[in-house]
């Protein structure tokens, strides 16, 4: 800020050039000068206070993603050195693990090493175990932190953790759940810096069908198949994939992109109804080439992850019949339909290593947690107050 803005002399100003402000000084009374000087000091103090609040708010960003802003806020890529180094072993890594993206490169702390070399087991400060990648557990060295990993709902997580030998072995958790020590949501939606130029009128005009659904698992805990069976009584739903007719493309995401050209809505129905459980089924629909409105049925707290007015939630309707009536109303109203697409296009999933978010949390905890690691009853952690049976199938 130009220090001359708080000069003793106050007067009119002109621009010498585009970036420099110059004052034409005029005589003023002593009283006016004092008032002006105090006002300037007050403004500077207020701006400094705002800057301090903003700075303090961002200092904590490294600890954990702000859950209230998870849709738009990226993780801060600061780094901190530490005298102590930590080795984190991913024991019997699953096939989907990709070290090129699922790594520690963007972590606040840079003193952690992620390895898959089992020869380093006894030397590792922490060991990560995926729920179905081991039949038995090795002997646990004193002081070593064991981390339980699952990215599936409890219904699709190994049931081996009911036995005393396994359920009381772990100290921390890493999963899609907010209450995990390592929080790895399936995606984080961020706000576009610049919205793409889109002809929404042409998109709406080309849509001649109502609802598409690509699905390969035909019987689920959420009974999504039963919900759709009731829904089709009131509105057309075309089913593709393993539970329906062949997709226009062998690639599932390309298939959905093709379908979005003629369909107005897409069913993003999860196989389980569990807190925080939102998978790629919904997040991929925020790609720029997915030009339909998602219909979400899954986590009861989906609004914590998805921006408002970008999707339709079945939880807002008492029955499939009521949902169908609403979809017909939106689908036949050009202005309202386009408003959903415009709002959805403000966000995107950058796909940059969502699992690494959880790994960074683990590295953070390795640096700041100094007390003896807690012991978690994994079976209790998996199931307690997490899931519910469907209650929306009545007509």
Helix axes 224-231, 320-331, angle to 10 degrees: 60
Average pLDDT of every residue of the chain = 83
**Helix boundaries (H) for 245-353:** 252-259, 280-283, 320-331, 334-344
Q: What is the pLDDT of residue 234?
A: 98
What distance in Å separates the CA atoms of residue 302 and residue 295, rounded to the nearest whole number? Answer: 11
Q: Encode pLDDT of 116-129 as tens digits.
A: 999 999 999 999 99
Asked whether the predicted pLDDT for residue 12 surpasses 60, the reply is no
Q: What is the pLDDT of residue 276?
A: 98
What is the mean predicted confidence (pLDDT) over 47-74? Answer: 44
Q: Encode pLDDT of 230-255 as tens digits.
A: 999 999 999 999 999 999 998 999 99
What distance in Å separates the CA atoms of residue 118 and residue 33, rounded to the nearest whole number? Answer: 74
Q: Encode pLDDT of 135-147 as tens digits.
A: 778 999 999 999 9
- Least confident residue range of 18-22, 35-39, 86-90, 113-117: 18-22
Domain spans in the chain, listed from the N-terminal domain onward: 3-62, 86-186+354-383, 198-349
What is the mean predicted confidence (pLDDT) over 351-375? Answer: 86
What is the mean predicted confidence (pLDDT) over 333-349? Answer: 96
18 burial via Cβ count (<10 Å: 0-12, 13-18, 19+): exposed
Q: Topology of domain 198-349, per CATH? A: Rossmann fold (3.40.50)
**Cβ density class 106-126: b for 16+ within 10 Å, e for less:** bbbbbbbebbeeeeebeebbb
- Least confident residue range of 170-184, 252-266, 365-379: 365-379
Q: What is the pLDDT of residue 80?
A: 54
């Amino acid at each position: 800020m130009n220090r001359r803005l708080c000069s003793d002399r106050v007067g009119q100003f002109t621009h010498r050039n585009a970036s420099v402000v110059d004052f034409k000084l005029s005589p003023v009374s002593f009283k006016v000068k004092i008032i002006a000087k105090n006002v300037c000091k007050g403004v500077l103090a207020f701006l400094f206070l705002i800057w301090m609040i903003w700075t303090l708010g961002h200092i904590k960003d490294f600890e954990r993603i702000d859950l209230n802003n998870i849709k738009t806020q990226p993780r801060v890529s600061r780094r901190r050195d530490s005298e102590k180094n930590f080795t984190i072993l991913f024991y019997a890594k699953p096939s989907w693990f990709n070290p090129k993206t699922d790594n520690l490169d963007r972590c606040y702390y840079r003193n952690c090493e992620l390895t898959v070399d089992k020869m380093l087991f006894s030397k590792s400060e922490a060991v990560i175990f995926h729920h179905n990648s081991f039949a038995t557990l090795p002997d646990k060295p004193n002081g070593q932190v064991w981390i339980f990993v699952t990215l599936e709902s409890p219904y699709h997580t190994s049931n081996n953790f009911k036995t005393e030998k396994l359920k009381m072995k772990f100290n921390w958790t890493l999963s899609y759940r907010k209450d995990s020590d390592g929080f790895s949501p399936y995606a984080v939606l961020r706000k576009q810096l610049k919205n793409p130029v889109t002809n929404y009128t042409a998109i709406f005009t080309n849509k001649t069908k109502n609802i598409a659904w690509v699905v390969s698992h035909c019987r689920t805990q959420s009974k999504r198949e039963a919900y759709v069976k009731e829904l089709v009584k009131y509105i057309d739903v075309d089913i593709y994939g393993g539970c329906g007719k062949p997709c226009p493309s062998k690639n599932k995401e390309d298939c959905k992109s093709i379908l979005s050209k003629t369909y107005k809505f897409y069913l993003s129905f999860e196989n389980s109804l569990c807190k925080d459980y939102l998978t790629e089924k919904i997040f991929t629909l925020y790609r720029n080439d997915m030009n339909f409105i998602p219909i979400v049925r899954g986590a009861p707290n989906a609004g914590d992850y998805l921006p408002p007015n970008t999707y339709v939630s079945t939880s807002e309707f008492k029955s499939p019949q009521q949902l169908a009536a609403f979809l017909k109303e939106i689908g036949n109203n050009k202005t309202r339909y386009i408003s959903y697409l415009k709002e959805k296009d403000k966000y995107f999933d950058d796909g940059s290593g969502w699992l690494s978010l959880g790994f960074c949390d683990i590295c953070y905890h390795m640096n700041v947690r100094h007390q003896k690691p807690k012991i978690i009853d994994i079976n209790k952690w998996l199931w307690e107050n997490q899931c519910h049976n469907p209650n929306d199938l009545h007509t």
